[in-house]
């Protein structure tokens, strides 16, 4: 019985997407404190997309 070794990207991808989501959320907070609410809303939407993609 042989066990195929999974590629490292399979395990790394959800973590990368989570990290991007965290950065987008942090960026949204920074934008909101500067009064740029429309841009903050876009950053929150991007964070939601990354959160949905990583499962």
* Domain residue extents for the chain: 8-54
Q: How far apart are CA 20 and CA 38, in angstroms?
A: 20
pLDDT along the chain (55 residues), means of 10: 65 89 97 97 96 86
Identify the pLDDT of residue 55. Answer: 76
Q: What is the pTM of this model?
A: 0.77
Identify the pLDDT of residue 29. Answer: 98
């Amino acid at each position: 019985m042989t066990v195929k070794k999974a590629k490292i990207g399979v395990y790394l991808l959800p973590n990368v997407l989570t990290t991007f989501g965290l950065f987008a959320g942090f960026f949204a907070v920074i934008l909101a404190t500067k009064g740029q609410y429309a841009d903050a809303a876009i950053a929150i939407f991007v964070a939601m997309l990354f959160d949905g993609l990583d499962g």
